Structure 1
Amino acid sequence: MTRPPTAAQRRVIDAADPVTGRLRGTPAQLAALVGRGLAFRHPRPPHDHFLTPAGHRIREAEPEAEPAAADDSPRAGTGVFAARVGGEEEPPDGGPARLREVRGAWQGLLELRRMTNPDGAVDRPCGWERTHLVPAAALALEAAGHRPAGPDAAGPGADRPDADGYRVRATPQPDAVAVRGPDDGTLRDCAATLEKAGWQASEHTDPRNRTRYLLASPRRV
């Protein structure tokens, strides 16, 4: 079994940019993370260091926490940027500060695409997005100005938590997310945004309640 990172290395990993995985540390710390396969040095100037998928898994691991089973409820904010997937109990402020955060996160994601896609393409999702489908799709929607659903209802209408905005959720398909909205027009607008952001989106009907939803997956070519 691979040795866990040292406390100092873990601090560097935990401080990585939450979207791009860009690292800051001493040359020795960064070299040690590269040697362990937890980071890589970008070949183009300024030769910054970034987390590998293994490094991202360590950063996101919470050994003491209860396993995040396949429940359908988004987690509350943790002090770092998190795209709104819809239905958050404590949605972040939607004012100018939030708009700046969202724009910064989207620009950071485009930069990550440029640096990690083999051809430097920014119009096609990168590896991070393919392993973080729900937040990646939600970020694309929020950055384009779409409004996420508010807190889930607890009374009448609780079966329509998306009644006031989009809601992004995982699906049994490993490479796709479901996007729901209050009406067909919203779904069409969300589909157009996702396709512009490099995703494939198609409309489907839920056989349980006959509501329409999008099935979206990152485009590969």
Structure 2
Amino acid sequence: MTRPLTAAQRRLIEAADPGTGRLKGTEAQLTALVKRGLAFRHPRPPHDHFLTPAGHRAREAQAGPPEPEEPQTPPSTAGGVFTARVGGEPALPAAGGAARAREVRSAWQGMLELRRMTNADASTDRPCAWERTHLAQAAALALEAAGHRPAESDGEDGYRVRETPQPDAVAVYAPDAAALRACARTLEGAGWQAGEHTEPRTRRRYVLASPRRV
């Protein structure tokens, strides 16, 4: 079970810069947030600390309770950390759709901020180091944030992102050719290289996608 934030940690997150997510605090306080996945230490001097996407969501959660008319959504995170839907997960109840959409938008904005802060040229048009080490999650987040629907566990009505033997690429499957091309366009727009291929044995079409480096 994830330990709740301390009062000091909540104050630290709430006081983060609203635009950049930059944090101020003691080294021990900042290190504690890093260990919880709520902050990261910038690799370049002066090595400031910034909120991660999970940290931004934690601050939004502290801002106030949900609106009364908003139906409560079932948990879609693990340990408080956002989990992108790669396809094949159980379907969300209808009441969870709006809340999930907000969560995805927040996660994508946090990812763009992470790109800006960690890419050497501060660009947001190509994946950052975190995305290169979490390929399936990163590609799935880009797709879901653009409005594509992940496949449910009992159907083939959405995209599925799967690891491949290649260490720097994932395979994306979709229910038809048009949906597959749409996924490829979305990934290209999010900074990925994407090309359609055919599986030799099954003849099934898929998109092979890898993070663009330049």
Bin for the TM-score computed over the shorter chain: 0.5 to 0.7
The equivalent position to 1:95 in structure 2, one of 94, 97, 118, is 97
Q: Which runs of 5+ in 2 are unaligned?
A: 1-8, 14-20, 33-38, 53-75
Q: Which runs of 5+ in 1 are unaligned?
A: 1-11, 17-21, 52-75, 154-160
Question: What is the deviation of 1:215?
Answer: 0.3
Question: Could you tell me which residue of structure 1 aligns to residue 131 of structure 2?
Answer: 129
Map 1:1-221; keep pairs closer than 5 Å.
Answer: 26-30=25-29, 40-41=41-42, 47-49=48-50, 77-78=77-78, 79-89=80-90, 91=92, 94-151=96-153, 153=154, 163-221=156-214
**Do the aligned residues in 1 keep the contact of 2:136 with 2:161 (CA within 8 Å)?**
yes
Which amino acid letter does the alignment assign opposite residue 138 of structure 1? A
**Do the aligned residues in 2 keep the contact of 1:42 with 1:115 (CA within 8 Å)?**
no
**Do the aligned residues in 2 keep the contact of 1:168 with 1:177 (CA within 8 Å)?**
yes
Question: What is the deviation of 1:46?
Answer: 11
TM-score, normalising length: structure 1 = 0.66
Distance 1:90 1:29 in 2: 40
CA RMSD of aligned residues (A): 3.3
**Do the aligned residues in 2 keep the contact of 1:42 with 1:49 (CA within 8 Å)?**
no
**Do the aligned residues in 1 keep the contact of 2:42 with 2:117 (CA within 8 Å)?**
no
Question: What is the deviation of 1:91?
Answer: 3.9
Question: Could you tell me which residue of structure 2 aligns to residue 57 of structure 1?
Answer: none
Question: What is the deviation of 1:40?
Answer: 2.4
TM-score, normalising length: structure 2 = 0.68
**Do the aligned residues in 2 keep the contact of 1:42 with 1:48 (CA within 8 Å)?**
no
| Higher deviation after alignment, 83-92 or 198-207 | 83-92
Distance 1:82 1:39 in 2: 18
The superposition leaves residues 131-187 of structure 1 with CA deviations (integer Å, 9 ceiling, x where unpaired) of 000000000000000011011x4xxxxxxx5x2000001001000000001111001
Are the structure 2 counterparts of residues 211 and 95 from structure 1 closer, same or farther at C-alpha, using a change threshold of 3 Å?
same
The number of residue pairs the alignment matches comes to: 168
Percent identity between matched residues is: 61
**Do the aligned residues in 2 keep the contact of 1:199 with 1:217 (CA within 8 Å)?**
yes
